[in-house]
Amino acid sequence: MDILRFITAGSVDDGKSTLIGRLLYDSKNIMVDQLEAMEKQTKNRAEGDIDLALLTDGLRAEREQGITIDVAYKYFTTPKRKFIIADAPGHIQYTRNMVTGASNSDLIIILVDARNGVAEQTRRHSIIASLLNMPQVIVAVNKMDLVDYSQDVYNNIVIEYAKLARALGLNDVTYIPISALKGDNIVERSAELQWYEGQSLLHLLENVEVEKVINLDKARFPVQYVIRPQTETLHDYRGYAGKIISGIYRKGDAVTVLPSGATSKIKEIETDGGRPVDEAFATQAIVLHLEEDIDVSRGDVIVLNNDLPQTAQELEVLLCWMDSKPLIPGNKYLLQINSTRVRSIVKDITYRMDVNSLEKNYAPAQAELNDIVKVVIKTALPVVYDSYKDLRVNGGAILIDETSNVTVGACMIQ
């Protein structure tokens, strides 16, 4: 049984947490004790019906304010598929949390309040979905009960969002009218939406084709640890430990160690417990042994000779800025991509994207919290990478504040 990882996104109060609660409630995936706790909490708030949003809004501040702050993960299973759900915050100041959840998802459900149409935060989340190359997008027009299940309201929102999707290059978009509060079109088709000819949301989630994000063509093995026991029994043992992030490695393969460019052949491959194997593939954790004793350190990348990634000290990246302090050209940060961490400087901000018009505002003086910008980064040492579009696992990076160790930027290398 395969696993679908999906995230709910959209503007504030579009009903993301309620939607997840409704999915779990109607598909019988809520434990009895959870249901009792939700009923008690709802009674304390004197709101009548069970507040399904309480299932994901686990922080006290979230319950008190009626908002989602952190990304909440929930798990459920149907006879057809397993699901991992990320409930992303809608508030603009928590956009960075949405980026975190979306970067590991196969599908995004973007909720739109039927009364308000496509809002600014809907656009921002859609831009992020585009930048992160989300394979599947479902646009759920929620709160249809509050507009009398109007087909005209739904159609106008579909037309409006379709223009945005075309501008962003979101190709695989599915639209569905729902009411998370009432349960319309969530697990079963709704009698109130007879004009809608599609399937329920759960049926779509159960049957959507999950794109295999594991790339078995481009072999990339970032070294995490060099094993040198130097004991009497293992005097000459030299192994390079890490996780294969993409591709397949076989005993006897000719390889190159980057960024140094040194070459060798794979002498042996060990998997769990030191068991020797003839081949290994993503996403296995292994220990590689090479025929020559060449200089290999943590952060180096071992690749096959016939398909080399790029190596450079100057990178063009699309960046979602995640810090309250502004990003100013000349600022220095640590850049981390997989096991590689190097000092870097932001040389230039090429443009900032306007989330409403999608226009590029060139040469801004700085970037503020949640801005999406294109920047040029200069690193102290060469970095081994692929473009994010070609290989997500070796094209994504983060910027880290050297003083606080806080992650301040999510990077997609171009």
**33 alpha-carbon distance from chain centroid:** 31
- 353-366 pLDDT tens trace: 887 778 899 999 99
Give the per-residue pLDDT at 67.
Answer: 40
Give the per-residue pLDDT at 304.
Answer: 97
Mean pLDDT of the chain: 85
Q: Helix or strand or coil: residue 146? A: helix
> What are the C-alpha distances in Å from 138 to residues 36, 66, 108?
32, 24, 6
Of 129-138, 189-198, 223-232, give the range with the top mean pLDDT.
189-198
Where are the domain boundaries for CATH 2.40.30.10 in the chain? 220-304, 310-413
H or E element that contains 36: helix 32-45
- Can you tell me the mean pLDDT for 236-252? 93
Distance CA 107, CA 9 (A): 11
Considering the four listed CATH numbers 1.10.3260.10, 3.40.50.720, 2.60.120.330, 2.40.30.10, the one that applies to the domain covering 220-304 is: 2.40.30.10
Distance CA 12, CA 148 (A): 22
Given a cut of 90, whether residue 21 has pLDDT beyond it is: no
Can you say whether residue 372 is alpha, beta or left, with left for phi > 0 and alpha for psi between -120 and 50 degrees? beta
Distance CA 128, CA 134 (A): 9
Q: What CATH class does 310-413 carry?
A: mainly beta
- 84-97 pLDDT tens trace: 888 766 556 566 66
Query: Phi, psi at residue 8, to the nearest 5°?
Result: -100, 135
Distance CA 142, CA 130 (A): 22
**Number of H helices and number of E strands within the chain?**
7, 22
Query: Which has the higher per-residue pLDDT, 101 or 170?
Result: 170
Give the per-residue pLDDT at 331.
Answer: 96
Where are the domain boundaries for CATH 3.40.50.300 in the chain? 3-207
